[in-house]
Copies of this chain bind each other. A is one copy, B any other.
Amino acid sequence: MPMTDDDHLVALRRDLHRHPEPAWREFRTTARVVEELDRIGVEEVHVGRDALADARLSVPDADDLAAWRTRAREAGADADLLEAMDGGWTGCVAVLEQGEGPTVGLRVDIDGLPREESTDSDHVPAREGFRSETGAMHACGHDAHATIGVGVLEAVTRSDFSGTLKVFFQPAEEVIGGGRAVAESGHLDDVDYLYAVHVGLDYPTGEVVAGVGDFLAVTQFHAMFTGEPAHAGAAPEAGHNAVQAMATAVTDLYGIPRHGDGDSRINAGRVGGGTASNIVPEEAFLQGEARGATTEIRDFVFDRARQAMEGAAFAHGCEVDVDVEGEAPSADSDDELVDVVHAAASDHPAVSKPTRRGSLGGSEDATYLMQHVQDRGGHATYVGVGTDHPGGHHTATFDVDETSIGIGVDVLSEAIVETSRSPP
């Protein structure tokens, strides 16, 4: 079993942690990863439009992108790479050809979250001086994921792996906006075996889950209701009340029927509208999501949701525009790869609890990549690498136990090598 260069990886992780960038703004992060790929000697790296299909969701506006690009430049990112990523075409695909054999993929996501990081002295990044400098935060461990991606690549170059390894450094997972663009990029088309990885998920350091599954398919949407304003005292009849339309839509959304074939979910997670007590509201918005145990159930819920929102708007003389902001299909991990990872984890001295199966409860757009490979006859699994994390995912005190980075690199690189030795 190859042992990773932990010091270097920890330093890399901390550097990424200090420069978190939210979805589609991962300019500096991508540039930093490419720097590592150069160091390792990976010859084929796809950046920008070469790495992504034209299916990105929730891309921010030009001003927003420009500000982050400027920030990345100031933080030392390579100008040519920034040029290639102009317009938010972030992330990259690293391809390592190393003899005959299967094509194996590894997907890691790289984006941060738009939230403040804790300044508490108990919070290791604050105490040790690698707290975020960008206003955003790596509050879900994607800094560790990118680092694991680099570490696995390096480990595989030193191994007897025979075949092709592609590592997908995916942007914009947090808004479930990047998965489809990577899946349809073409680079997945010949992948026989795909691994995806996530640290934490409430599993402690020492536990490795070989196959996380039961991902709910999800569609996240934003609906804008537009009516007519009016003075609420003098002429309420002149108005078409967008807040009434939105409120009716909320109740109608939750009224979408349950599905006899499996779990479904609906949520109106964020709403707002109107300007003042005495004005009939002209505008209101509703941001929500539909989920399903299968992609079909998710589609059923979302179709009904559109209908519900359009009916509610019509009932109040308003218009509604519904935009999809993110989506991911359902997926499950394949036994073939679960076996491989379970064996690798069981052999690792620092893995105290190798687990075959787990479930996430939520959604993830790695499912786009998994489904893409599975639809072509390949296999995929989503690996959970336990890490002690003081705060919960997405909170200000989230942090990873850095020993889990080495565990992740070891288990995944071992599984990948094993996949080339005895393709399952």
> In this assembly, does A274 line the interface, its C-beta being within 8 Å of a C-beta of chain B?
yes
In the bound complex, CA of A264 to CA of B273 (Å): 23
Q: A268-B243, A279-B269, A289-B278 are in contact. Are A231 and B317 (CB under 8 A)?
A: no
> In this assembly, does A271 line the interface, its C-beta being within 8 Å of a C-beta of chain B?
yes
> In this assembly, does A59 line the interface, its C-beta being within 8 Å of a C-beta of chain B?
no
Residue numbers in B under 8 Å from A247 (CB-CB): 246-248, 250-251, 268, 271
State whether A255 touches B254 (Cβ < 8 A).
Answer: yes
CB distance from A165 to the nearest CB of B (A): 32
- Scoring A238, A239, A257 by chain B CB atoms within 10 A of each residue's CB, the highest score goes to A257
State whether B272 touches A271 (Cβ < 8 A).
Answer: yes
Considering the complex, give the chain B residue whose CB is closest to the CB of A235.
Answer: B260
Convert A339-377 into 0s and 1s, putting 1 for each residue whose CB lies closer than 8 angstroms to a CB of B. Answer: 000000000000000000000111100000000000000
Q: Which of B308, B314, B360 contacts A307 (CB 8 A)?
A: B314
Interface size on A, as a range, is: 35 or more
State whether B362 touches A233 (Cβ < 8 A).
Answer: yes
In the bound complex, CA of A170 to CA of B416 (Å): 61
In the bound complex, CA of A280 to CA of B192 (Å): 39
Q: A270-B273, A271-B274, A277-B270 are in contact. Are A265 and B311 (CB under 8 A)?
A: no
State whether A277 touches B308 (Cβ < 8 A).
Answer: no
> In this assembly, does A380 line the interface, its C-beta being within 8 Å of a C-beta of chain B?
no
Q: A257-B237, A277-B220, A289-B232 are in contact. Are A316 and B252 (CB under 8 A)?
A: yes
State whether A307 touches B300 (Cβ < 8 A).
Answer: no
Considering the complex, give the chain B residue whose CB is closest to the CB of A312.
Answer: B315
In the bound complex, CA of A287 to CA of B266 (Å): 25
Considering the complex, give the chain B residue whose CB is closest to the CB of A269.
Answer: B277
> In this assembly, does A288 line the interface, its C-beta being within 8 Å of a C-beta of chain B?
yes
Convert A223-243 into 0s and 1s, putting 1 for each residue whose CB lies closer than 8 angstroms to a CB of B. Answer: 000000011111111110101
> In this assembly, does A258 line the interface, its C-beta being within 8 Å of a C-beta of chain B?
yes
> In this assembly, does A23 line the interface, its C-beta being within 8 Å of a C-beta of chain B?
no
In the bound complex, CA of A361 to CA of B230 (Å): 12
Considering the complex, give the chain B residue whose CB is closest to the CB of A263.
Answer: B258
Considering the complex, give the chain B residue whose CB is closest to the CB of A268.
Answer: B243
- Scoring A239, A260, A264 by chain B CB atoms within 10 A of each residue's CB, the highest score goes to A260
In the bound complex, CA of A238 to CA of B297 (Å): 12
> In this assembly, does A304 line the interface, its C-beta being within 8 Å of a C-beta of chain B?
yes
In the bound complex, CA of A263 to CA of B265 (Å): 11
State whether B259 touches A280 (Cβ < 8 A).
Answer: no
- Scoring A270, A310, A313 by chain B CB atoms within 10 A of each residue's CB, the highest score goes to A270
In the bound complex, CA of A239 to CA of B313 (Å): 22
In the bound complex, CA of A315 to CA of B268 (Å): 16
> In this assembly, does A275 line the interface, its C-beta being within 8 Å of a C-beta of chain B?
yes
> In this assembly, does A216 line the interface, its C-beta being within 8 Å of a C-beta of chain B?
yes
State whether A314 touches B316 (Cβ < 8 A).
Answer: no
Residue numbers in B under 8 Å from A281 (CB-CB): 268-271
> In this assembly, does A85 line the interface, its C-beta being within 8 Å of a C-beta of chain B?
no
Residue numbers in B under 8 Å from A317 (CB-CB): 304, 307
State whether B276 touches A231 (Cβ < 8 A).
Answer: no
CB distance from A127 to the nearest CB of B (A): 28
State whether A316 touches B255 (Cβ < 8 A).
Answer: yes
Convert A299-329 into 0s and 1s, putting 1 for each residue whose CB lies closer than 8 angstroms to a CB of B. Answer: 0100010011111111111000000011000
Q: Which of B272, B276, B309 contacts A272 (CB 8 A)?
A: B272
In the bound complex, CA of A264 to CA of B260 (Å): 10
Residue numbers in B under 8 Å from A309 (CB-CB): 315
Residue numbers in B under 8 Å from A326 (CB-CB): 277
> In this assembly, does A284 line the interface, its C-beta being within 8 Å of a C-beta of chain B?
yes
State whether A233 touches B278 (Cβ < 8 A).
Answer: no
State whether B288 touches A268 (Cβ < 8 A).
Answer: no
CB distance from A394 to the nearest CB of B (A): 9
3 smallest CB-CB distances across A and B, nearest first, come from A311-B315, A234-B361, A247-B250
A residues engaging B (CB < 8 A)?
Answer: 216, 218, 220-221, 230-239, 241, 243-244, 246-252, 254-255, 257-261, 263-281, 284, 287-289, 291, 300, 304, 307-317, 325-326, 360-363
